[in-house]
Amino acid sequence: MKHTVANVGHLLKTYDKKINVLNEIDFSVQSGEFVSLVGPSGTGKTTLLRILAGLEHPTSGTVQVAKNTSIVFQDPRLIAAQKIWKNVVLQDDRAKDSRARAIAALSEVGLADKADRWPFSLSGGEAQRVGIARALYRSPDLLLLDEPFSALDAFTRKRIHKLVIDLWLDRRPGVLLVTHDIEEAILLSDRIVVLGGGSIKGDINVEIPRHRDTTSPEFNDLKRRVLEYLAHA
């Protein structure tokens, strides 16, 4: 049975007491749901994600998130002086099963054989997969993705798209992805939420069956709909 893993009500975020980045929005994500958040730069997408992650505080309104929440950033932020498996567990490295759990998470992203290597030895795509393994290590009910694919080349991005979808289908957390890429949002999501000027301009269900073809009429019709919302964002 689905349940709410993220919910904000009348959420207001103001900077310098005068600039409303988020203007009393209402928004939620259900367990097992994959939601993409799109919109022009500066419209509050990452701010909303950071509030859900507990990295920023709202000016007013209510915020409720699943206790077990993980975030993957655009930059995987690996610690150069720690081996890969310790980058997965971070402060949990003294737990007696932490190494075994880290290797299990790395195995899910195809990097178990690199557990004892150093971050400098990884490609960009591999480093991002370590970031995903770090999130999976915590078995999140809510997975927050802050443009984690944007710095990757097209081939690597496609591979990690498939990896994320496979992991999502297997584990069924609620997922919220911030992205500027409309095709990426349509390929991955159940819903696309368009944010503009600090408010929600559109909330669109993606009803195209998986696996999705970017050249299909249904895909391009939906892409046009999203772009129409963005034109008024």
Name 154's bridge partners.
none
Predicted structure pTM score: 0.92
Structure confidence by residue, pLDDT tens digits, 160-208: 999 999 999 999 999 999 999 999 999 999 999 999 988 999 999 999 9
Distant-in-sequence contacts of 27-30, Cβ < 8 A, 24+ apart: 27/193, 27/200, 28/4, 29/4, 29/5, 29/142, 29/174, 29/175, 29/176, 30/2, 30/3, 30/4, 30/5, 30/174
Structure confidence by residue, pLDDT tens digits, 112-154: 999 999 999 999 999 999 999 999 998 999 999 999 888 888 8
CATH topology of domain 4-79+141-231: Rossmann fold (3.40.50)
Give the dihedral of Cα atoms 136, 137, 142, 143; nearest 10 deg.
-40
What pLDDT score does 175 carry? Answer: 97
Give me 190's structure tokens: 């159940």
Query: Reduced to 3 states, what is the DSSP secondary structure of residue 157?
Result: helix
Sorted by where each begins, the domain ranges of the chain are 4-79+141-231
